[in-house]
Every structure is written in structure tokens, then in C-alpha cells.
């Protein structure tokens, strides 16, 4: 129940240089346990897990830190992995079928996306948009943007490979369009994405969704009861 990168391992990890803390080590000043949620806006299994993680983290008082993990970051990589853009869409929509079978509430619109004439997007621009939201509004804004972009992609079958669509989403969330566009295009946003990818590589993460926490916690998509049970150990520790 995951998406796995088919590319070679990412470049060697380096410490985060943008003020964010490394994952799996909660800040001493933070009372709540912290988990890091590595995700990609185009990932169907992330869409399945995200509402469960939100629910359980709220119940248990756990902070979820959002991290970008981009499966393919360009059209060229999509073609390299899948052979063609047409084949990419066909294979990915088969993944969507599996994801839809495990949703708690039916939200994934497979046929709606199949009917669209745009090429299936990579997650790169969406990751930049999430990081731009984080730069403007912090971790919660990153999470809100991630959820909104996933909803637009998997439920509304909008083209999240189009920067204007992402800016429409950001504006609907209350971000000033011009400032958001500047942040999304900035080198700083790209560096934040690459820092998250480097951290994922250092942690040995090659598939998503992945949730990392203290005491060696490492989770992927789980049903709600099992997720609650697994995360409860963080609170009890």
C-alpha cells in the first residue's frame, strides 16, 4: 500500500539548513510527540492515509511535520520510469483503483481523471507549492496546502502540473497570489524540497507514504485502528 521510487537513490543527505529540525528527534521544548509525514501530492496512498493521520494525531496530541518526497520531478523522469506519458497515466490510474478500494470514504475519481486530456503531472510543482505555503504560514499551512492540492488532483481531477491551478488553490486558502507565486518560484522553495528528499534518503525512505517517529517508529498506510494503536506508543513512551 505505497508508492515506491524507481529511480536511483537520491544524493547523499545533508543537514537541513532552513531552520527546520531533523525528523524523529522531537524538540526538547515541544511537549507533544512529533512524527514526520513524507508524502507526494500525486500519491494516492498518501491521500488514503492523510485523513487517518490527521484524526489520530488530533486524538493523541501528536504533531505531524510535513515533508516533501517527490517520486518523479519532471516529464522526462516520468517517461524514463513509465516509458511514455500515456503509459504513465494508465499505470498510475491502476494504482488509484487499489487506493480507492482502501479509502474510508469514497473520494478518488478515477474516471474523472481518465477523461482529462492533460498529461498526468509529476509532483514537483505541487511540492514547491506546499513548501511556499510553509514558508508563508508554517507547518500547518504546508499541511493545508498538501491536502488541498491532493483534493484537487485526486477528487476534482484538476491539472496540478499547471502553476496557475496551484496558485488558484493557494489563493482559495487565503494566500496572496503574488507573494505565493514568488515563494513558489524561489530557490528557497526548491532547496526545502531537496532538503526533505535528502533527509528521506538518510532515513532510508524509498516509498511513500512514510511516517517516522521516535523510538524507531516507521509506518506506512494502515487502517485507522492499527494506526491509532501504533501511534499511541509514542504518547505512552
Residue 63 has pLDDT above 90, yes or no: yes
pLDDT category, 185, cuts 50, 70, 90? Answer: very high
pLDDT given for residue 192 in this prediction: 98
Three-class SS of residue 104? Answer: coil
Cell for 138? 508554517
CA atoms within 13 A on the CB side of 100: 14
Per the model's pLDDT, the better-predicted residue between 75 and 4 turns out to be 75
Please state, in angstroms and rounded to a whole number, the distance separating the CA atoms of residues 8 and 209.
Answer: 18
DSSP H or E segment with residue 226: helix 224-236
- Phi, psi for residue 79 in degrees, rounded to 5: -65, -40
Output the pLDDT for position 32.
85
Kindly tell me if the per-residue pLDDT of 26 is higher than 80: no
User: What structural domains and CATH numbers belong to the chain?
Assistant: 42-229 (3.40.30.10)
- pLDDT for residue 197 is more than 50: yes
In the chain, DSSP assigns E strands to 3-4, 34-39, 63-68, 207-208, 210-212, 218-219
Q: How many CB atoms lie within 10 A of CB 198?
A: 17
Q: How confident is the model at residue 20 (pLDDT cuts 50, 70, 90)?
A: low
The residue-averaged pLDDT of 142-159 equals 98
Residue 2's pLDDT band (boundaries 50, 70, 90)?
very low
Cα angle, residue 59 at apex, residues 232 and 205 outer, rounded to 5°: 55
| Mean pLDDT (whole number) for 74-97 | 97
CA distance 106 to 237: 35
The model's confidence at residue 215, banded by pLDDT at 50, 70 and 90, is confident
28-32, 43-47, 78-82, 166-170: least confidently modelled range: 28-32
What pTM does this model have? 0.87
Other C-beta atoms lying within 10 Å of the C-beta of residue 178: 10
CA nearest 50: which of 149, 178, 184, 174? 149
104-132 average pLDDT score: 98
67-76 average pLDDT score? 96
C-alpha cell at 236: 505512552
The pLDDT mean for the chain works out to: 90
Amino acid at each position: 500500500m505505497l508508492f515506491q521510487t524507481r529511480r536511483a537513490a537520491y544524493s547523499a543527505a545533508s543537514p537541513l539548513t532552513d531552520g527546520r529540525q531533523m525528523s524523529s528527534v522531537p524538540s526538547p521544548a515541544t511537549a507533544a510527540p512529533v512524527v514526520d509525514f513524507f508524502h507526494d501530492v500525486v500519491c494516492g496512498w498518501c491521500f488514503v492515509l492523510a485523513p487517518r493521520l490527521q484524526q489520530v494525531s488530533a486524538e493523541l496530541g501528536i504533531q505531524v511535520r510535513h515533508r516533501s518526497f517527490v517520486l518523479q520531478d519532471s516529464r522526462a523522469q516520468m517517461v524514463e520510469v513509465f516509458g511514455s506519458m500515456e503509459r504513465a497515466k494508465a499505470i498510475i490510474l491502476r494504482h488509484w483503483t487499489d487506493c480507492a478500494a482502501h479509502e474510508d470514504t469514497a473520494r478518488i475519481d478515477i474516471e474523472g481523471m481518465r477523461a482529462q486530456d492533460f498529461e498526468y503531472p509529476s509532483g514537483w510543482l505541487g511540492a514547491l507549492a506546499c513548501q511556499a505555503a510553509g514558508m508563508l504560514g508554517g507547518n500547518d499551512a504546508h499541511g493545508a496546502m498538501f491536502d488541498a492540492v491532493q483534493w484537487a488532483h485526486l477528487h476534482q481531477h484538476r491539472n496540478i502540473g499547471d502553476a496557475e491551478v496551484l496558485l488558484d488553490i493557494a489563493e482559495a486558502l487565503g494566500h496572496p497570489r503574488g507573494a505565493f507565486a514568488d515563494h513558489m518560484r524561489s530557490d528557497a522553495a526548491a532547496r526545502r524540497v531537496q532538503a526533505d528528499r535528502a533527509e528521506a534518503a538518510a532515513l532510508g525512505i524509498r516509498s511513500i507514504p512514510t511516517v517516522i517517529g521516535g523510538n524507531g517508529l516507521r509506518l506506512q498506510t494502515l487502517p485507522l485502528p492499527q494506526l491509532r494503536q501504533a501511534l499511541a506508543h509514542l504518547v505512552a513512551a
